[in-house]
């Protein structure tokens, strides 16, 4: 049964009627540009053909009754728009509540709804299941409200929910990609200007995600520590360069090298990753426009080296997965995707070698780690929206 069939049938089972509306919010895979978004830099994600779905029907009151099918056999959260406290137990419920809260701060007043959530995104894999849930929540709530918001506004509201309600100081890339992704293309996002350009991907290659099945929780990982280190590096670089520096994006590699001896080693490494990663995003976009898949893949590999050595965001399982991938025929590049410290890798593989790559990587990783991975090709898909019901 497809996810769409599941969410419709489960809604009918729980509420004894069919849903009025169904929204989708896709996950994302970031091809290159990791940990640059919260440094006002550049990223190049795709929205993927795996997603969160929310089926809903309006209620006669202002209550929101929302059931998550995929969490411990199903969990239900009930709250009212006039009073949205932090949920003490359910992480997913705070994604939903946070979006509802910040929508009200923007003057959006949705009707109360009964809703059911399901997803075919592996949680904790670095495919932005949380951002997909947030964007899908905003989409379905706006469908039951007279007010309308555009994709950038939705992404901003969902980022506020993630940062201040859930407590993860994420950048805007995940929500932006889920809201504004393009079919059959990546989007190169300027995370300061909140603008993007469409980048057609090189022909003859497929994007494959390989989940290590080592889950991570961003709020409990080194993610917030890295953000603080970047902020500390910005403050110190402003002093050393004797000029205004708002983010690491504002510093060139030449400038960084000129003051490197005055920086603590840890801050130097963090800054070097972000500065060189921004340049790799620009170079990857140019390579894609030239249809140069080999160069694009090489830049992905360079990104992984920087993430592992300078940003220290890899993990033993990610390193094993990437080592296995790089030995496979047709693999042009492999790197972690998402924050790291677990989760998934993204791989650029020639079309002719996709089946063997999927089979071999899964088999060898299973043998090396005794962990069952999830390895699958993904396609660039359209961003969040409503599903037309028959």
Active site members? 174
Number of H helices, E strands in the chain: 11, 12
Cα gap 289→82, rounded to integer Å: 49
* Residue count of the chain: 390
Burial class (CB in 10 A: 0-12, 13-18, 19+), 369: middle
Neighbours of 172 (CB within 10 A): 24
Bridge partner list, 128: none
Cα gap 281→386, rounded to integer Å: 31
Cα gap 210→331, rounded to integer Å: 13
Cα gap 2→5, rounded to integer Å: 5
Contact 44, 188 (CB under 8 A): yes
Question: How far is C-alpha 152 from the geometric centre of its chain's CA atoms?
Answer: 15
Structure tokens at 57: 């029907």
């Amino acid at each position: 049964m497809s996810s769409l069939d599941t969410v419709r049938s489960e809604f009918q089972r729980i509420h004894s009627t069919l849903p009025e509306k169904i929204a989708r919010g896709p996950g994302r895979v970031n091809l290159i540009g990791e940990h640059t978004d919260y440094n006002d830099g550049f990223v190049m994600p795709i929205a993927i053909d795996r997603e969160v779905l929310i089926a809903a029907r309006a209620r006669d009151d202002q209550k929101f009754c929302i059931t998550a099918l995929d969490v411990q056999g199903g969990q239900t959260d009930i709250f009212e728009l006039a009073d949205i406290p932090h949920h003490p137990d359910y992480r997913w419920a705070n994604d939903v509540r946070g979006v509802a809260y910040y929508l009200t701060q923007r003057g959006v007043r949705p009707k109360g709804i009964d809703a059911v959530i399901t997803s075919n995104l592996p949680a904790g894999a670095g495919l932005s299941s949380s951002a997909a849930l947030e964007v899908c929540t905003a989409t379905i709530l706006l469908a039951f409200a007279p007010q309308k918001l555009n994709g950038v506004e939705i992404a901003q509201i969902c980022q506020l929910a993630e940062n201040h309600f859930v407590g993860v100081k994420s950048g805007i890339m995940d929500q932006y990609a889920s809201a504004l992704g393009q079919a059959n293309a990546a989007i190169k996002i300027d995370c300061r200007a909140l603008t993007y350009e469409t980048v057609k991907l090189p022909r003859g290659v497929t994007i494959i995600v390989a989940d290590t099945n080592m889950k991570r929780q961003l709020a409990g990982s080194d993610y917030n520590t890295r953000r603080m280190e970047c902020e500390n590096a910005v403050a110190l670089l402003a002093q050393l360069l004797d000029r205004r520096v708002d983010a690491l994006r504002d510093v060139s590699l030449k400038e960084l090298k000129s003051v490197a001896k005055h920086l603590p080693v840890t801050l130097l490494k963090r800054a070097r990753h972000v500065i060189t990663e921004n340049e790799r995003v620009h170079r990857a976009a140019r390579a894609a426009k030239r249809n140069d898949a080999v160069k694009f893949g090489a830049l992905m590999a360079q990104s992984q080296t920087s993430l592992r050595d300078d940003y220290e965001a890899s993990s033993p399982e990610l390193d094993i997965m990437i080592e296995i991938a790089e030995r496979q025929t047709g693999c042009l590049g492999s790197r972690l995707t998402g924050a790291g410290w677990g989760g998934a890798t993204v791989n650029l593989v020639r079309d002719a070698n996709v089946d063997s790559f999927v089979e071999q990587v899964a088999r060898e990783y299973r043998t090396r780690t005794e962990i069952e991975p999830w390895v699958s090709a993904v396609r660039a898909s359209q961003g969040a929206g409503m599903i037309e019901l028959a």
